[in-house]
Amino acid sequence: MRIPESHKDMVYEKPRAIISTINKSEVYSAFCFIQVEDEDIFLEKIEEEQIKHILENERIAIMTIDPSNMGRWLCIQGTIEPKETQDPSFKVKIRKLILFPKEG
């Protein structure tokens, strides 16, 4: 699944985002950064606690908001796959996109 043109700038400019995970039925949210390579999205600079949650449950939600227009946002729901790097980085497999405002 690809990010629509209307919201691509929100992931291609290495934005700060909020990642949410579920661990033992509790939701945990924290800041992270999104990095795009080709059409793949990676999470970077993730807190240690968040990494523990990701390793226990691969389901995540990522939200990023346009700082110049707080009424424009993008939420990515999906799963992660570890990326082989020295710093913790995780590839996002997108399952669902929620956009506001909606396209078209």
What are 17-41's pLDDT values in tens digits?
A: 999 998 888 898 988 888 888 778 8
Residue 75: what pLDDT?
94
Return the CATH fold of 5-100: Pnp Oxidase; Chain A (2.30.110)
User: Would you list the domain boundaries of the chain?
Assistant: 5-100
Residue 49: what pLDDT?
83
Please say if the pLDDT value at position 102 is more than 70.
yes
With DSSP H G I counted as helix, E B as strand and the rest as coil, what are the percentages for the chain, rounded to 5? Answer: 15, 50, 35
How far is 102 from 90, CA to CA, in rounded Å? 27
Q: Which tens digits make up the pLDDT trace of 45-93?
A: 788 888 888 888 889 999 999 888 989 999 999 998 876 656 667 889 9
How far is 32 from 36, CA to CA, in rounded Å? 13
Please say if the pLDDT value at position 104 is more than 60.
no
